[in-house]
Amino acid sequence: MGVVTVPGDAVPVTLGRPSPGPAAAPTEGPLVDTYGRVHTDLRISVTDRCNFRCVYCMPEEGVPFLPRQEILTFEEIARVARVARDLGVRSVRFTGGEPLLRHHVADLVAMVAEAGFDDLALTTNGTSLATLAPDLAGAGLRRVNISCDSLRPERFAAIRRRGDLAMVLAAMDAAEAAGLAPVKVNVVVMAGVNDDEVVDFAAFARDTGRLVRFIEFMPLDAAGRWQRDQVVSAADILGAIGARWPLEAVPPAPDDPAPAEVFRFADGAGSIGVVASVTRPFCGTCNRLRLTADGSVRNCLFSDDERSVRDVLRSGGSDDEVAAVLRQAVWGKLPGHGINDPGFLRPSRSMSMIGG
């Protein structure tokens, strides 16, 4: 249990220990944790189901899905979103599983949009986006992140196990045509799997103007096979790209603790990002909380600290009681995810079940 400095923290923090703050969360003011981090970003998982089986996320066969009655309804999700907005949440991202598999998801987007957020985004594997993009944009969605881990059709199919590269590239075009821009492209980089395509993806970013975000492989695969030597560090990714096209760091906006560090090509031909969750954790500025498809509030991808808001919703609880669950969840947040701590334990739920 070492003392480390988490980037963005003013003081060194100790990972892996419960928060030392008082047990009860404040009952007014913004959604703050015991380290003073104010939470303004809500990730909503709308389903744990997926039509892909990406190697870094889901097992190939035998995935147990949540029974339908355990999944929050649109009304329940929209109510939690409204309460979160009243507590200062300004941005919402829909995710999953594959969010576009949820029937009539554009209706949910419209219900949440009605609450009035500064930003509404969605992360998708691209399935159905070509069809749904106009409806989603009409419902109030602002932009999408589309996952794509290879520009080589056979490799794409091997990594994602299902799905097809041409469909995902068409989804990017459809999103832009519908005004869901800027399109960001999420690439999970794994050593010996697709790390030889980092420069190809940088060329793709330059050619298309899309922000390609290289994501370090995190220990959230359902198979539990994550090994540190499969992680390709942001430093190596930036080194490979920078050797071909010099890069300049783009300073983060003061009010935007987005996890991606953004770099522009020095010749002005676009930008790329790195999400260095493993090698450069950004926990010190984390402003996120998560709502799982079955109505648990989580304060971190890597923490098993979950509080059921569904129980409150389904037992006739008031908005104040819903707010109390959100407040207490945030209050219990640890200073860091602890991946690099010797005592790190993987969370019991994998990425598709939490909502990435």
Q: Are strands 119-124 and 143-147 parallel, antiparallel or unpaired?
A: parallel
Q: Identify which range of 33-41, 77-85, 95-103, 284-292 contacts ligand SF4 by CB under 6 A.
A: 95-103
Q: How far is the CB of 293 from ligand SF4 (least distance, A)?
A: 11
Give CA separation, 36 vs 18, 103, 303, in Å.
15, 38, 18
- Give min distance, CB of 142 to ligand SAM, in A: 17
**How near is the Cβ of 325 to ligand SAM at its closest, in Å?**
23
Q: Cβ closer to ligand SF4: 96 or 281?
A: 96
Q: Can you tell me the distance from the alpha carbon of 73 to that of 92, in angstroms, rounded to the nearest whole number? A: 17
In the complex, minimum distance from the CB of residue 107 to ligand SF4, in angstroms, rounded to a whole number = 21
Please, what is the minimum distance in Å from the beta carbon of residue 71 to ligand SAM?
A: 16
Segment contacting ligand SF4 (CB under 6 A): 90-98, 192-200, 252-260, 280-288?
90-98
Closer to ligand SF4 by CB, 62 or 342: give it: 62
Residue 217 or 245: the one with the smaller Cβ distance to ligand SAM is 217
Q: Is residue 87 within 8 Å of residue 327, measured between CB atoms?
A: yes
Burial tier of 159 (Cβ tally within 10 Å: 0-12, 13-18, 19+): buried
Partner from ligand SF4, ligand SAM, none contacting 89, C-beta within 5 to 8 A by type: none
Q: Which does 217 bind (CB under 5 to 8 A by kind): ligand SAM, ligand SF4, none?
A: ligand SAM
Q: Which does 58 bind (CB under 5 to 8 A by kind): ligand SAM, ligand SF4, none?
A: ligand SF4
Would you tell me which residues interact with ligand SAM (CB under 6 A)? 50, 56-57, 95-96, 98, 123-125, 147, 186, 188, 215, 217-218, 220-221, 351-352, 356
Q: Kindly list the distances between the CA atom of residue 295 and the CA atoms of 106, 171, 250, in Å, as whole numbers in the listed order.
A: 20, 29, 36
Residue 53 interface partner, choices ligand SF4, ligand SAM, none, CB cut-off 5-8 Å depending on type? ligand SF4
> How many residues are there in the chain?
356
Q: Which is nearer to ligand SAM, 55 or 83 (CB)?
A: 55
Is residue 52 a contact point for ligand SF4 (CB under 6 A)?
yes
Q: Which of 102, 157, 147, 105 is nearest to 126 (CA)?
A: 147
- Nearest position to ligand SAM, beta carbon: 356
Interacting residue with ligand SF4 among 37, 39, 43, 53 (CB under 6 A): 53
Q: How far is CA 159 from the centre of its chain?
A: 19
- The residues of the shown chain that bind ligand SF4, judged by CB under 6 A, are 50, 52-54, 57-58, 96-98, 125, 147, 351-352
